[in-house]
Amino acid sequence: MPRADARDAPRRNPKWQARLEAIIDTSARVFARQGYHATGINELCEANDLGKGALYHYIGSKEGLLAAIHDRVMDEVMQGAERVAQAGGSPPAQLEMLGDELLDVIHRYPDHVWVFLHEFPALTGERAAAFRTRRQQYERRVEAVLRAGVESGDFRALDPWLTARAWLGMHNYTYLWLKPGHRLSARDVAKPFADIFIRGIQN
Partner DNA sequence: CGCGCTTTGTACCGATCGTTCCAGCCTATA
Partner DNA sequence: TATAGGCTGGAACGATCGGTACAAAGCGCG
Subset of residues 14 to 33 that bind a copy of itself, contact rule: CB under 8 A = 33
Which partner, a copy of itself, DNA, none, binds residue 19 by CB below 5 to 8 Å per kind? DNA
39 makes contact with DNA (CB under 7 A): yes
- Contact range with a copy of itself by CB under 8 A, out of 18-26, 63-71, 85-93, 185-193: 185-193
Question: Concatenated DSSP letters for 77-127?
Answer: HHHHHHHHHHH---HHHHHHHHHHHHHHHHHH-HHHHHHHHHHGGG--HHH
Nearer to a copy of itself, 50 or 106 (CB): 106
Q: Compute the least distance from the CB of residue 159 to a copy of itself, in Å.
A: 7
Which partner, DNA, a copy of itself, none, binds residue 201 by CB below 5 to 8 Å per kind? a copy of itself
Assess contact for 202 and 156: CB atoms under 8 A: yes
125: alpha, beta or left? (left if phi > 0; alpha if psi -120 to 50): left
Question: Concatenated DSSP letters for 136-164?
Answer: HHHHHHHHHHHHHHHHHTSB-S--HHHHH
**Residue 115: which residues within 8 A CB-CB, separation 6 or more?**
28, 31, 32, 36, 66, 69, 70
12 makes contact with DNA (CB under 7 A): yes
Site residues, DNA (CB under 7 A): 2, 12-13, 15-16, 19, 37, 39-43, 49-54, 56-58, 61-63
Site residues, a copy of itself (CB under 8 A): 33-38, 118-119, 121-122, 158-159, 162-163, 165-166, 168-174, 177, 184, 189, 192-193, 195-201
